[in-house]
Chains A and B, each alone.
Chain A
Amino acid sequence: MTIIATQALTKTYGGGVTALADLTVDVDAGVIGLVGANGAGKSTFIKIMLGLLAPSSGEVRVLGIDPVTETDKVRARVGYMPENDCLPPDVSASEFVTHVGRLSGLPKTAARERASESLRHVGLYEERYRQIGGYSTGMKQRVKLAQALVHDPDLLLLDEPTNGLDPAGRDAMLTLVHRIGNEFGISVVVCSHLLGEVERICDSLIAIEAGHLLRADRISSMTTASDVLAVEVSEGTDELAAALSALGFAVTPEGRLLLVPLESDSAYDKVLQAVAELDLPLHRLDQRRHRVAELFTTKETADV
């Protein structure tokens, strides 16, 4: 089922700034990654989908409904989690989520039930009776997610849900988003500027740059440039580079690091073994996440 469909969607702001240009996408249900650098037009796209902004030209359908003409219908079925801080500090999470649940059209008792349900699903239990002001960033992000989930939407729009979280919190949030998409049966659009982060949990991906569509496809059908291993040794960097090249790796030096593409499962072991055989002091060995910029550069070179 098509969740979001746009046809030559264009948004030009008053000052002549083009935020979205000729965007045509057609995405299926599931977890959808919306990636792009800051200012690429992600937020504009989300606002258009919510009916907060009217497109300058082109058409958009969310869940088969036009958000321009039938704004209320779309909003009743969509949950939105903004990027910025948006929680009042002096009420408890349970009161707040109940309140916004009522503003989504739930009757009083249903709002209360759904509020505690959605807070439980995001992993807030007894804490939900405490004032939000005392919460950690991770807990606040969870409350923001819960308020988007309270009216049982068919589509969630999450704007940078991992913003400001530590690595553990990031993983927990991504796992949660993945669960919502797969177990709850709710489609999710995850906005991010970190491609490596969203590609782990997404079924499909929309990449935009400066308002233009770079790619929109299912993850599986993308020629996924596999992960890169960054190796740093205190000395003998050149020897190691030579040894790895001899093993058939396309090694690229980057400062004091060596970047080795991880093409197969055994690659990791082979690199380790090469280091051990040369008896070099290993400093660092970490799996690099792709950034959107890398996708963009590979795309451009592919075009040439």
Chain B
Amino acid sequence: MSEAGVIHDIGYQRYTGPRLGRGALLRALYVHGLRATFGFGRSAKSKIFPWGVAGIVLLVAVINAAVRSQTGTWLFDYYAFDDGMSWLVIFFVAIVAPELVSRDLRSGVLPLYFSRPLRAADYVIAKVAALVTAVWLLLGVPQFIMFLGGAFTTKTGMKGVWHEVGLLLPGWAYSVLWAFVFASISLLIASLTGKRAFAAGGIVAVFLMTAPVVGVLSVLPSETSRHLAGLASPMSLISGVEGWLRDRHDLGIDVGNFGVIYGIEAFCLITACLLLLLARYRKVASL
């Protein structure tokens, strides 16, 4: 007998539905973070930058694929694509990593998170996973476009496609390596401050300031210092790992016989950053 348009207060209803475990919380936080990296669920302003970078990267890939289909030769391969785009990725993580973690520090929202069944480790895993996925998508999707360009213009039929897949997969793996290095370093820096501008500046500084060190070391007369110069900067470190794994000496960094050191340093760098990040949030989580 209720009249139309009248909202009846039916009082407080207890919730009797399912309550999910920590795995679901982690997934919810991961999806939330991944959406935030590309500005979904945020204002239009926060979409400009990530999509701007994504647009440029995609454009480069499309041009590369087009050139190849016309002339049959690459402007650059899957690896060189990642190396070439590294500067853009630096700016991408410098904006997105603070968006993921500094924002939470600034607004003081963390006590609300950590008073729920969510641990410091879950938070760190979700945020790292979100940024790794975002960076990987940023590099992997253009690589896939390059692959499509190559696969559809191949002259050798199915064999050519499989050959192309064989090139794409290591390229994707290389992008994963890039993603981990960028994500772990930038999230660690961003987790130290609640001010987004400082965090962004710090991230750019760490990546850019180390590049000249590599330059100086590599012009020293010593052969060994030239081989080890790449260890000084995250970007040349990754190129070095590439040189080591592909056994190439004609790339930007000639690692000589020291390739394995590059591999060890890359592993240690990522692990150390993630452990420091975890330690940082253990401390934050106890409020």
What residues of chain A have their CB less than 8 Å away from a CB belonging to chain B? 47, 50, 52-53, 71-72, 75-76, 78, 80, 82, 84-91, 95, 99-100, 102-107, 110, 114, 117, 121, 147, 151-152, 183-185
Q: Would A82 and B21 count as touching, CB distance under 8 A?
A: no
Q: Would B43 and A90 count as touching, CB distance under 8 A?
A: yes
Binds A, one of B83-91, B103-111, B147-155, B242-250: B103-111
Q: Which residues of A contact B113 (CB under 8 A)?
A: 100, 103
Closest to A72 in B: B117
Q: Would A104 and B117 count as touching, CB distance under 8 A?
A: yes
- CA A117 – CA B11 in complex, angstroms? 10
Cβ-neighbour of A105 out of B19, B42, B111 (below 8 A): B19
B contacts with A, residue count (CB < 8 A): 35
Known: A52-B114, A90-B43. A103 touches B28 (CB 8 A): yes
When each residue 15-26 of chain B gets 1 if its CB lies under 8 Å from chain A and 0 otherwise, what string results? 101111110110
When each residue 30-47 of chain B gets 1 if its CB lies under 8 Å from chain A and 0 otherwise, what string results? 001000000001110000
B118 at the interface (CB under 8 A from A): yes
B264 at the interface (CB under 8 A from A): no
B156 at the interface (CB under 8 A from A): no
Q: Which residues of A contact B104 (CB under 8 A)?
A: 88
- CA A147 – CA B115 in complex, angstroms? 11
- CA A72 – CA B15 in complex, angstroms? 18
Contact count A vs B, C-beta below 8 Å: 99
Closest to B11 in A: A183
| Extra inter-chain contacts (13) besides given A105-B117, A184-B12, CB under 8 Å | A52-B115, A53-B286, A80-B115, A82-B112, A87-B107, A100-B113, A103-B113, A103-B118, A104-B117, A106-B17, A151-B116, A152-B14, A183-B12
Q: Would B115 and A76 count as touching, CB distance under 8 A?
A: no
What residues of chain B have their CB less than 8 Å away from a CB belonging to chain A? 11-15, 17-22, 24-25, 28-29, 32, 41-43, 103-104, 107-109, 111-118, 285-287
Q: Would A72 and B115 count as touching, CB distance under 8 A?
A: no
Known: A89-B107, A95-B41, A183-B11. A75 touches B28 (CB 8 A): no
Closest to B41 in A: A95
- CA A5 – CA B43 in complex, angstroms? 46
Q: Which residues of A contact B18 (CB under 8 A)?
A: 107, 110
- CA A185 – CA B32 in complex, angstroms? 32
Q: Would A117 and B21 count as touching, CB distance under 8 A?
A: no
Q: Would B12 and A102 count as touching, CB distance under 8 A?
A: no
Q: Which residues of B contact A110 (CB under 8 A)?
A: 15, 17-18
Question: What's the minimum C-beta distance from A39 to chain B, rounded to whole angstroms?
Answer: 16
What are 20 of the A-B contact pairs (CB < 8 Å)? A47-B286, A52-B285, A75-B117, A76-B116, A76-B117, A84-B111, A86-B108, A87-B108, A88-B107, A91-B41, A100-B116, A102-B24, A104-B19, A105-B20, A105-B116, A106-B20, A107-B20, A117-B13, A183-B11, A184-B12
Q: Which residues of A contact B116 (CB under 8 A)?
A: 75-76, 100, 103-105, 151
Known: A52-B285, A75-B116, A183-B11. A102 touches B108 (CB 8 A): no
Question: What's the minimum C-beta distance from A8 to chain B, rounded to whole angstroms?
Answer: 23
- CA A73 – CA B22 in complex, angstroms? 11
Q: Would B115 and A105 count as touching, CB distance under 8 A?
A: no
- CA A47 – CA B287 in complex, angstroms? 9
Known: A84-B108, A90-B42, A114-B15. A99 touches B115 (CB 8 A): no
Question: What's the minimum C-beta distance from A189 to chain B, rounded to whole angstroms?
Answer: 13
3 tightest A-B CB contacts, nearest first = A152-B15, A72-B117, A80-B115
Closest to B32 in A: A99
Question: What's the minimum C-beta distance from A190 to chain B, rounded to whole angstroms?
Answer: 16
Q: Would A88 and B103 count as touching, CB distance under 8 A?
A: yes
- CA A296 – CA B79 in complex, angstroms? 73
Closest to A90 in B: B43
Q: Would B112 and A106 count as touching, CB distance under 8 A?
A: no
Question: What's the minimum C-beta distance from A182 to chain B, rounded to whole angstroms?
Answer: 11
- CA A76 – CA B19 in complex, angstroms? 8
Q: Which residues of B contact A87 (CB under 8 A)?
A: 107-109
Q: Which residues of A contact B107 (CB under 8 A)?
A: 85-89
- CA A50 – CA B285 in complex, angstroms? 12
Closest to A144 in B: B112
- CA A107 – CA B19 in complex, angstroms? 7
Q: Would A86 and B111 count as touching, CB distance under 8 A?
A: yes
Closest to A118 in B: B12
Question: What's the minimum C-beta distance from A73 to chain B, rounded to whole angstroms?
Answer: 8
Q: Which residues of B contact A121 (CB under 8 A)?
A: 12
- CA A82 – CA B109 in complex, angstroms? 10
Q: Which residues of A contact B21 (CB under 8 A)?
A: 105
Cβ-neighbour of B109 out of A50, A53, A88 (below 8 A): A88
Question: What's the minimum C-beta distance from A37 to chain B, rounded to whole angstroms?
Answer: 20
Closest to A89 in B: B107
